[in-house]
Amino acid sequence: MSAQPFLLAALAALLASWLWLRSRRCCGRPESCPRLEKDSPFLHACMADPRRARACRHALPTLAMRLVREGAIGHALACAGRAAADGCPGAWIVLGRIHQDLGNAGLAREFFLREASNPENALAARLAIGDLHARAGDYAEASRHYRQAAEMDSTFAEAWCSLGRCYAALGHWDDARVCYELALRQAPDHLPTMHALGLVLVGAGDFPAALRVFQEILDIAGPSGPLLARLGRLAREAGDFRKAVVYLKDSMKLTGLPDVKKDMAEVYAAMGQVEIAEFYRQEYEREYVL
C-alpha cells in the first residue's frame, strides 16, 4: 500500500509530460487548430521569434498570409521563404500567391509547380495554377489545371466550380452546366453555385431550366426585388407571360427600380395588351428616361 502514492505520482508526472509534449507538437489540422486562430498568443509569439513556429508545421505559412493581409509584404516574403526552406506544407503556395499579387506571374507559377510535386498539397497547387491562368484570361490553360484538380478529388466542389467558370468564359455552356451540376451533388443548395448554374443555362438559351433553378433559389433564400425581377424576365423568355407578370409585380412591391416597369411593358406587349403595355412604358420613361 505504501508504494501506491508513489505510483500515482509517477503516473501523474508521465501524463503531465505527455500533455506538454503533445502541446508542443503539430496537430496536423490547420483549419481547426486554436494556435492558428486570429490574434492567438502563439502566432504573436512566432511573429516576435520565428523559431517558436517550429512547434507547428503550419504556423509560418499561416503567419505569412496574415502579414500579407496586414500589408507587411516584406515580412510576409521572409516568413514564407523561411517556411519553404523548412519544408512547411503549403509554403510554396503562399510564396506563389504573394508573388502573384506583386505581378510576378512566372515566379508564382514556378512556386505553385514546386508545391504540386507534394502529394499532400497537389490539389491546392493545381487550383492555384488554374487561378493564375484564369486571372490572366487564359481560360483554356486554366481549365486544364482545374480538370486535373477535379480528377484528383472528384468530391471537391470548388474544383468543379472553377472548371465550370472557365468553360462558361469560353462559351462551352454544356460543359459548364455539367461541372456546376457535379459541384451541386457535393454541396446541394449552395446558393452561389446554383446562381452560377442558372446564368450558364441563360447563356445556353435554356430559359425554362434556368427558371427552375432560380425558383429553387427563391425557395431557399426567400424573395428579393432583384431575384423576383430576374424570375419575371426568365418567365417571359420561357413564354410563361402570366407567371412573368406575377413575379414582376411582386418585384415592384419590394424595389423601386424603374427597369421592372420596362419589363412589365414588354411582357404586356408580348401578350397583346397594348394599352397596359403603353401605361408601363410611360411610367418607366417618366421615372428613368431623361
Q: Which residues of 68-86 are buried (b: 16+ CB within 10 A; e: fewer)?
A: beeeeeebbbebbbbbbee
Amino acid at 114: R
Find cell 514556378 and name the residue: 110
Q: Given this model, what pLDDT does residue 21 score? A: 38
Q: Given this model, what pLDDT does residue 12 score? A: 60
- What domains can you pick out in the chain, each with its CATH number? 35-120 (1.25.40)
Give the three cell numbers for residue 101.
499579387
Q: pTM (2 decimals)?
A: 0.77
Q: Given this model, what pLDDT does residue 73 score? A: 83
HEC readout, the chain: CCHHHHHHHHHHHHHHHHHHHHHHCCCCCCCCCHHHCCCCHHHHHHHHCHHHHHHCCCHHHHHHHHHHHCCCHHHHHHHHHHHHHCCCCCHHHHHHHHHHHCCCHHHHHHHHHHHHCCCCCHHHHHHHHHHHHHHCCCHHHHHHHHHHHHHHCCCCHHHHHHHHHHHHHCCCHHHHHHHHHHHHHHCCCCHHHHHHHHHHHHHCCCHHHHHHHHHHHHHHHCCCHHHHHHHHHHHHHCCCHHHHHHHHHHHHHHCCCCHHHHHHHHHHHHCCCHHHHHHHHHHHHHHCCC
Q: Which residues of 39-61 are buried (b: 16+ CB within 10 A; e: fewer)?
A: eeebbebbbeebeebeebbbbbb
Q: Given this model, what pLDDT does residue 69 score? A: 78
Q: Given this model, what pLDDT does residue 58 score? A: 67
Q: Given this model, what pLDDT does residue 41 score? A: 66
Q: Given this model, what pLDDT does residue 197 score? A: 98
Those residues of the chain that have pLDDT short of 50 are 1, 18-32, 34-35
Give the three cell numbers for residue 281.
412604358
Which residues have a Cβ under 8 Å from the Cβ of 54 and sit 6 or more positions away? Answer: 86
CA atoms within 13 A on the CB side of 199: 14
Query: Taking a C-beta distance cutoff of 8 angstroms, is the pair 180, 197 a contact?
Result: yes
